[in-house]
Amino acid sequence: MNSLKSAVILFLLCLATAARSEDGSCLWLRGEMPTDITLQIDSTMPDDDGYRINGRTVTARTQMGLLYGRYALLRGEQGESHPFYRLRILNHWDNLDGSIERGYAGASIFWDNSSLDAQLIQRYAEACASIGINGTVLNNVNASPKMLTRKYIKKVKEIADILRPWGIKVYLSVNFGSPKALGELKTADPLDPQVRQWWQKKAEEIYAVIPDFGGFLVKANSEGQPGPFDYGRTHADGANMLADALKPHGGIVMWRSFVYGAKHQGEDRVKQAVSEFAELDGQFRDNVILQSKNGPLDFQPREPYAPIFDHMTKTAQMAELQITQEYLGQSKHLVYLAPMWKEFFSFVSPERLVGIAGVANIGLDTNWCGHHFSQANWYAFGRLAWNPMLSSEQIAEEWLTQTFGNDSNSQLSIINSQLLDVMLRSREACVDYMMPLGLHHIFKFDHHMGPDPGGFKANYPIEWCPVYYHRANKDSIGVDRSSTGTGATTQYREPYRSQYDNIDTCPEQYLLWFHRVPWTRRLSSGRTVWEELQYHYNRGVEEVDSFAVIWQEAKPFIDKQRWQEVEERMEFQQKDARLWRDVCLDYFGSFLK
């Protein structure tokens, strides 16, 4: 075992105390960085950037392991730890004009018309490295073909050079139709030799300037995006063509399974991913990874797990989680997402996945995420990507301690305990005041902020309309996805297939997702469906009110700026929770008059 005092690593560690502004570039990095540490390289340790901590000594096989271990020491860790997943990747839905699709914290930190802010990117890299994130997709999955032009590849190189010392690889979302869209070929057919050659040359061009480039993320034949179906080809044909271009350079293809559209006219939207991909299992190259959302619909506050994870047993898979709160109050609601992600892992074993991706919530706002507590979700994603066995409570405790401090002899420890309780209750509260009992996707059109249970536009596809997802009338509410309905339950493995299929055994949290239920049916509480909806909506509002009281009590122990900014968002959340309750109960109640 050789002792190493790495000047590079120590320099990077010193940057951890650098703040983007007075309120901190990254709240969980505001603790003091001890300097009396020993860094040691041990070549006998596993080659996975893991670390071992004994007192003030950090031991690792790699330089990155030392860096990760140093941050772990700051969190108070002792013992040995290794990353569960090799791929721990953020997906930025950033557009080349600087806007961000589903971004609620300002403009892109990567793309605009000005020169690159290297210091800002470096602080972003530091924050990611501190929680073990080792990859980032720099642009939107609804990708512009321009992303692959020389101008933007040059800028990607600049970003990659800044991120590399922090152990972060760059990846790009690519538009499948790029060769044609850029006017360089007349087709994008994946079986056309000229198209295959185009992608091979493009890969060579990228790797010539970014030797450690990670690979491509692809959204194809969904929501109007081009793809192999345009040429009568399969997802495997398309993914394998790109995989072949990247293979000589060690790159991967992350092919998204989020698909729905005209090909499935009349088919239940939640079934479409399995319908398109199940028969292709085993046909993908070994450097193709199928990337699937945690639920079969679209990042709802609560969904059953996506059954595609049951079907692709011969294909590498990674889960896609959404850190940005598109359907959970965006950056205006305090909703801690680790409990939702842990719920997913209770159904889909972490061992079945090769990686985990998170749709980022990061922008140019001073606190990165719009809402100070939204940083906890960025933090939680990184910690779960490193170790999905960690509990929601442990992660929240870490974040609170590093964000607001901790003194066991002061009132602050009591406040942190109360805030921990708020965080752990917040996701269930959100489900209650938005869509309890399995209700889903009843948001306002397009921007997905606020309730619109009666939403319908004749010129929209029906699966974009909120009424499609509850189908309430004077007798019943909910969607029959049982074996005698749309058949969505048949896509699940046992015991869930039978459990979800039977209205008497279906968990009530998924009841209206899988079944059409009479308003008068009595549930386990003894209340009718209508009474139970009222109970949940009112409970959700009461929970948010209690959160606001706790935040008021925390005022003496939080700096003025952060307290006021959270307070303003808390007031909005209280009003919005009431809006959800009132609009939904008025609408659904109208069927019972």
Catalytic annotation on 80?
A: no
Buried b or exposed e, range 176-201, using 16+ CB within 10 angstroms = bbbbbbbeebeebbbebeebbebbbe
Spot the catalytic one: 326, 480, 501, 576: 326
**Rounded distance between C-alpha atoms, residue 412 and residue 64, angstroms:** 34
Please say whether the beta carbons of 280 and 290 come within 8 A.
no
Determine phi and psi for 38, rounding to 5 degrees. -115, 130
Backbone Cα Rg of the chain: 24
At 320, which amino acid appears?
E
Strands (DSSP E) contained in 287-388 are 288-293, 317-322, 355-359
Encoded tokens for 531 = 């009474």
Q: What is the dihedral of CA 582, 585, 590, 593, to 10 degrees?
A: -110
The contacts of residue 48 (CB under 8 Å, 6+ apart) are 61, 82, 83, 86
SS3 451: strand
Q: What are the DSSP calls for 199-254, one per residue?
A: HHHHHHHHHHH-TT--EEEE--SSTT---GGGGT--HHHHHHHHHHHHGGGT-EEE
Catalytic annotation on 223?
A: yes
Spot the catalytic one: 97, 204, 205, 223: 223
Q: What is the dihedral of CA 3, 6, 10, 12, to 10 degrees?
A: -140
Spot the catalytic one: 161, 212, 298, 393: 298
The gap from C-alpha 308 to its chain's centroid, in whole angstroms, comes to 17
Q: Which residues are catalytic?
A: 223, 298, 326
